[in-house]
Amino acid sequence: MQRKTCYQIKPVRALRYLFARALYTLPVLWLVVSVVFLLIHLVPGDPILQMLGEGAPVTDIAATRHAYGLDVPLGQQYLHYWKGVLHGDLGPSLRFNQSVGSLIVHRYPYTLQLTVASLLVAILISIPAGVRSAQRRGRWDDKLLSVVSLFGLSFPNFALGPILILFFAIKLGLLPVSGSGSLEHLVLPAITMGSALAAILTRMVRTSMLEELGHDYVRTARAKGLPERTVVYRHALRNAMLPILTVLGLQFGALLAGAIVTEKIFSWPGIGRLTIDAIGNRDYFLVQGCILAIGLTYVLVNFLTDLLYSVANPRIRQ
């Protein structure tokens, strides 16, 4: 009877943990959106003048500014914006004449698709390369992989993207230059974003695997006659996944930020390109909505990363 009570308590503890983690994310989101709200209003330029033109009548400018609630003090605009957010209303777009929510819902799947594809590219490259480098420590292939990963870290997305376009799209004609709609359109942007992350993960996997391969349980598994692949990938790699998961969770947000530049280079219709256009047009509500969507995704991914810790390492489930 007592054992049953203990098992009944565990879900309660899990719910309390999830609730506490969710509460921790609220101040982060509030701070991010508040800073963006203040910065975008400090940027020189009048969005109403950009929308109507310099020669618009003064009465039309005043009426439009009043219609969008931009004629009241900044503090009132801030409170009004958060009141709308709590009711699910992110406001209207000054440029596209649509609700910010509908624009984000339409563009967000493209950014998520690109980010996940880039993450898969990074994982498929980094884990075999990092494991190989750890197994061949100090040999020629280890040194070669270290040089390649250092080169990947030093090469920015805004330089790699145009080079890939020139070589694979223009010279060879194998892939489309820009746009979306098929898997071929996704290849070059995913490689552009995933290569830098692959370089970081390769070094992380190598460091974690070197530590795990020196433990006694690895030598015991080898002494029992287990295949080397089983020892490395089933035992050592699983225990080495904690720091790798940490980096993946943190770098997912970096991929979302990197998508802003990459989407502009490849004309990818995602939320990153939408953010750049909104900043250029001084579209206050759209910028705030895009940053809020990116911030929510970043917080959610880090929250899921914490939960994956217990899957990768049962010792910390308590």
Any domain includes 49: no
> Token pair for residue 276?
């750049």
DSSP assignment letter at 94: T
Beta-carbon contacts of 48 under 8 Å, excluding residues fewer than 6 positions away, are 61, 64, 65, 68, 70, 94
14 in a domain, yes or no? no
Q: How far apart are CA 11 and CA 16, in angstroms?
A: 9
CATH number, residue 116: 1.10.3720.10
Is 109 contained in some domain?
yes
What letter represents residue 196's amino acid? A
Q: What is the pLDDT along the chain (318 residues), one digit of tens a residue?
A: 444 444 444 566 667 766 777 777 778 778 877 887 887 777 777 777 777 777 778 888 888 888 888 888 888 888 888 888 888 888 888 888 888 889 999 998 998 899 889 989 989 998 888 888 888 887 888 788 888 887 777 777 778 888 888 888 888 888 888 888 788 888 999 998 888 888 888 888 888 888 888 888 888 888 888 888 888 888 788 878 777 877 777 777 777 766 788 888 888 888 888 888 888 888 888 888 888 888 888 778 877 777 766 665 555 545
Q: Which two tokens stand for residue 161?
A: 């993207």
Residues 36, 288: contact at Cβ < 8 Å?
A: yes
Residue 147: CB atoms within 10 Å? 10
In a domain, 28, yes or no: no
What is the sign of the dihedral through the CA atoms of 147, 150, 154 and 157? positive
- Helices 241-265 and 183-213, interaxial angle, to 10°? 160
Helix axes 284-312, 100-135, angle to 10 degrees: 40
Looking at the 3D structure of the chain, how many domains does it have? 1
User: Could you tell me if residue 275 is inside a domain?
Assistant: yes
Identify the pLDDT of residue 8: 45
Distance CA 39, CA 191 (A): 32
Distances (CA, A) of 161 to 35, 84, 114, 219, 265: 30, 38, 14, 44, 7
Domain membership of residue 9 (yes or no) is no
In DSSP terms, which residues pair with 50 in a beta bridge? none
Strand partners, 99: 92
DSSP state of 99: B
What is the domain extent for residue 110?
Answer: 100-316
What is the model's pTM? Answer: 0.79
Residue 30, helix vs strand vs coil: helix
Q: From 272, 63, 46, 248, select the one nearest 158 (Cα to Cα).
A: 272
90 within some domain? no
DSSP label at residue 224: T
- Residue 38 maps to a domain: no
Helix residue spans in the chain (DSSP H):
2-42, 47-52, 58-67, 74-86, 100-135, 140-154, 157-164, 183-213, 216-223, 228-229, 237-239, 241-265, 271-280, 284-312
